[in-house]
């Protein structure tokens, strides 16, 4: 049988010798082998004592003991893992990564140790004193779906922060304890926590929860009402029409948008009148949700109605309707909307027109329109145009513009230009030019804005950078960036 640590602890074949003297000798040898194997399976005494000190809260003493032991036995995996845990208990992510690097010096590439480091950073986040860090780590743990984190997540069911507690309940909603906490959080005094509970209970429990959730249609918080609408969108039953029918008339525009979108996602054709009315809403978000819902519900006359919307002077609505028609095999309405959008005064509308090109299968007219935007005065429009021509098969033009954007954005000291650098590098990378990686790797470590460091890391790893880059990011001063890096590491090393 396999004993602790995977050691094979079994009986020696010598036990079956018939000769009495030989039998006695072989028994002795057998028990000696077992003793040696068992000893080998036990962690070093310094690790046992270090673990005890760490669990008692004497982190300084634990570190002194384990540091001495690691110097004496640098290739011992148990000691090295404990060293990483102790550094993180001291809130020292840089020290944890340094300890991991020390392991590499001894053993070379080892994704198991890197996987352990990522999980240790997530556990560190889950036990942080800062509720925002705990929440970020909890969301990271949900993305990994790692069994090894279940115990640490379960502790958050008793978190003093209402939002953290609720998300922990969502993560463990399949367990009795998680389901119980999620149900109790419906009555939370914290509107954000209540919204998470309401929306996720609707999503998880389906139509069986509709009756109990009806009271939240009139909740004092628009965030809760919008969450209810989003949750009901996952329930494919006409029972949702009653609460959604009230929410599409809500005084809050975001609630209306969520409710209209939910009608489409739920596939309730009985809600077509609600969607038609929403097409005339004063808020763009509601109108866009209505176009999407209209296309999802389908039925007779859908194409004609989408054509009418695609000719609208409301260009974002026209893009949305045209994209739906393009997916149905009719490109011209979207091409017309793109042509109008590319000459709009607002750069965001021009960029959206370029993005719309990517929804059309390779089309010579779409490519011609996108090429015009490659000379746009706004760099982010040029980046969108480069992605558009790339989607239409023109790698040469995309690579040229990607290189120009790198020259413009990557040499600037302006933090806002980091976006231009990232987008230019991503375009160049998608054309097959790996020289863009050096810019992404630099920004993953040194970009001024945390969101840019996180995005640069994601693209760099997608494009072929080594996981050691993510390990270098783990000490990032922004915990959200470090947690994002840990999640990326776990996903890559768990494959």
Q: 300 or 345, which is more confident?
A: 345
Query: How much is the average pLDDT of 38-60?
Result: 81
Nearest alpha-carbon partner for 95 in 120, 61, 77, 132: 120
Q: How many Å apart are CA 273 and CA 294, to the nearest integer? A: 10
- On the question of pLDDT at 256 being above 50, the answer is yes
pLDDT given at position 35? 40
Query: How much is the average pLDDT of 19-32?
Result: 46
- On the question of pLDDT at 185 being above 80, the answer is yes
Q: How many Å apart are CA 347 and CA 141, to the nearest integer? A: 38
Q: What angle do CA 294, 295, 301 make, to 5 degrees?
A: 80
Buried b (16+ CB within 10 A) or exposed e, 26-64: beeebeeebeeeeeeeebbebbeebbebbeeeebeebbe
Query: How much is the average pLDDT of 140-147?
Result: 95
For residue 438, what pLDDT band results from cuts at 50, 70 and 90?
A: very high
pLDDT given at position 42? 55
Residue listed under structure tokens 């060293």 = 83
- On the question of pLDDT at 323 being above 50, the answer is yes
Dihedrals φ, ψ of 175, to 5°?
Answer: -95, 155
Positive/negative CA dihedral, 133, 100, 48, 66: negative
End-to-end C-alpha distance for the chain, whole angstroms? 28
For residue 44, what pLDDT band results from cuts at 50, 70 and 90?
A: confident
Query: How much is the average pLDDT of 223-250?
Result: 95
- Count of Cβ atoms closer than 10 Å to residue 436 Cβ: 27
Q: Measuring CA to CA, how many Å separate 124 from each of 120, 138, 228, 380, 477?
A: 6, 11, 33, 38, 14
For residue 153, what pLDDT band results from cuts at 50, 70 and 90?
A: very high
- Count of Cβ atoms closer than 10 Å to residue 129 Cβ: 7
Residue listed under structure tokens 């145009």 = 385
Residue listed under structure tokens 């790893």 = 461
Tell me, rounded to whole angstroms, the distance of Cα 117 from its chain centroid. 18
pLDDT given at position 301? 79
**Least confident piece of the model among 102-106, 244-248, 394-398:** 102-106
- On the question of pLDDT at 24 being above 50, the answer is no
Query: How much is the average pLDDT of 200-214?
Result: 90
Q: How many Å apart are CA 201 and CA 213, to the nearest integer? A: 9
Question: To 10 degrees, what angle do helices 131-144 and 479-494 make?
Answer: 20
**What is the secondary structure of 270-288 as a DSSP string?**
GGHHHHHHHTT-SSHHHHH
Cβ-Cβ contacts under 8 Å for 175 (sequence gap 6 or more): none
Query: How much is the average pLDDT of 477-488?
Result: 97
pLDDT given at position 17? 34
Q: Name which CATH class applies to 43-108.
A: mainly alpha
Of all residues in the chain, the percent with pLDDT exceeding 70 is 91
Q: How many Å apart are CA 43 and CA 78, to the nearest integer? A: 6
Please, what's the largest Cα pairwise distance for the chain? Answer: 101
Q: 495 or 175, which is more confident?
A: 175
pLDDT given at position 303? 87
For residue 373, what pLDDT band results from cuts at 50, 70 and 90?
A: very high
- On the question of pLDDT at 448 being above 70, the answer is yes
Q: How many Å apart are CA 243 and CA 227, to the nearest integer? A: 12
pLDDT given at position 298? 78
**Least confident piece of the model among 104-108, 354-358, 400-404:** 104-108
Q: In the numeric block, which tokens belong to residue 45?
A: 């005494």
- On the question of pLDDT at 6 being above 60, the answer is no
Nearest alpha-carbon partner for 434 in 466, 397, 408, 409: 466
Q: For residues 447 and 456, is the Cβ–Cβ distance under 8 A?
A: yes
**Helix ranges restricted to H, 239-394:** 241-247, 253-266, 272-278, 284-297, 302-310, 315-327, 332-341, 347-357, 364-373, 379-391
Q: 361 or 298, which is more confident?
A: 361
Q: Measuring CA to CA, how many Å separate 404 from each of 353, 391, 393?
A: 21, 19, 19
For residue 14, what pLDDT band results from cuts at 50, 70 and 90?
A: very low
pLDDT given at position 180? 96
Residue listed under structure tokens 């198991």 = 112
Cβ-Cβ contacts under 8 Å for 174 (sequence gap 6 or more): none
Q: How many Å apart are CA 329 and CA 323, to the nearest integer? A: 10
Query: Collapsing DSSP states into helix, strand and coil, what is residue 183?
Result: helix
Of all residues in the chain, the percent with pLDDT exceeding 90 is 78
Q: How many Å apart are CA 381 and CA 372, to the nearest integer? A: 11
Across the chain, what does the average pLDDT equal? Answer: 90
Q: 413 or 84, which is more confident?
A: 84
Over the stretch 167-176, which tens digit does the pLDDT of each residue have?
999 999 999 9
pLDDT given at position 43? 66
- On the question of pLDDT at 299 being above 80, the answer is no
């Amino acid at each position: 049988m396999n004993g602790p640590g995977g050691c094979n602890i079994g009986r020696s074949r010598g036990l079956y010798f018939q000769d009495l003297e030989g039998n006695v000798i072989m028994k002795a040898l057998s028990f000696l082998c077992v003793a040696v194997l068992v000893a080998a399976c036990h962690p070093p005494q310094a690790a046992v004592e270090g673990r005890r000190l760490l669990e008692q809260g004497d982190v300084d003493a634990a570190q002194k003991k384990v540091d001495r032991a690691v110097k004496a036995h640098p290739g011992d995996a148990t000691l090295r893992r404990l060293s990483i845990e102790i550094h993180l208990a001291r809130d020292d992510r840089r020290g944890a990564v340094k300890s991991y690097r020390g392991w590499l010096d001894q053993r070379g590439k080892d994704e198991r140790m890197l996987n352990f480091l990522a999980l240790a950073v997530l556990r560190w986040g889950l036990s942080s004193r800062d509720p925002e860090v705990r929440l970020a780590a909890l969301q990271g743990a949900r993305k990994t779906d790692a069994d090894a984190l279940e115990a640490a997540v379960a502790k958050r069911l008793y978190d003093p922060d209402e939002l953290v507690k609720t998300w922990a309940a969502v993560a463990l909603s399949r367990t009795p304890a998680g389901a119980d906490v999620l149900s109790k959080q419906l009555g939370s005094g914290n509107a954000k926590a209540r919204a998470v509970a309401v929306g996720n209970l609707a999503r998880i429990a389906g139509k069986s929860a509709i009756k109990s959730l009806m009271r939240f249609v009139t909740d004092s918080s628009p965030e809760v009402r919008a969450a209810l609408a989003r949750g009901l969108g996952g329930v494919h039953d006409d029972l949702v029409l009653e609460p959604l029918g009230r929410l599409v008339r809500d005084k809050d525009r975001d609630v209306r948008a969520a409710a209209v979108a939910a009608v489409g996602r739920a596939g309730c054709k009985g809600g077509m009148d609600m969607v038609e009315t929403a097409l005339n809403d004063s808020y763009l978000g509601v109108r866009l949700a209505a176009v999407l819902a209209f296309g999802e519900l389908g039925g007779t006359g859908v194409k004609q109605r989408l054509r009418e919307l695609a000719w609208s002077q409301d260009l974002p609505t026209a893009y949305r309707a045209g994209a739906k028609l393009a997916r149905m095999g009719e490109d011209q309405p979207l091409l017309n909307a793109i042509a109008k959008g590319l000459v709009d005064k607002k750069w965001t509308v021009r960029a959206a027109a370029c993005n719309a090109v990517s929804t059309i299968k390779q089309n010579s007219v779409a490519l011609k329109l996108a090429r015009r935007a490659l000379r746009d005065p706004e760099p982010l429009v040029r980046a969108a145009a480069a992605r558009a021509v790339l989607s239409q098969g023109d790698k040469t033009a995309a690579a040229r513009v990607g290189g120009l954007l790198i020259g413009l954005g990557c040499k600037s000291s302006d933090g806002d230009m980091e976006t231009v650098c990232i987008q230019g590098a991503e375009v160049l990378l998608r054309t097959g030019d790996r020289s863009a990686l050096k810019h992404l790797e630099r920004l993953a470590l040194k970009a001024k804005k945390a969101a840019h460091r996180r995005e640069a890391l994601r693209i760099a790893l997608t494009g072929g950078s080594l996981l050691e880059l993510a390990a270098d990011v783990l000490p990032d001063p922004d915990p959200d960036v470090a947690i994002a890096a840990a999640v990326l590491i776990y996903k890559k090393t768990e494959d």
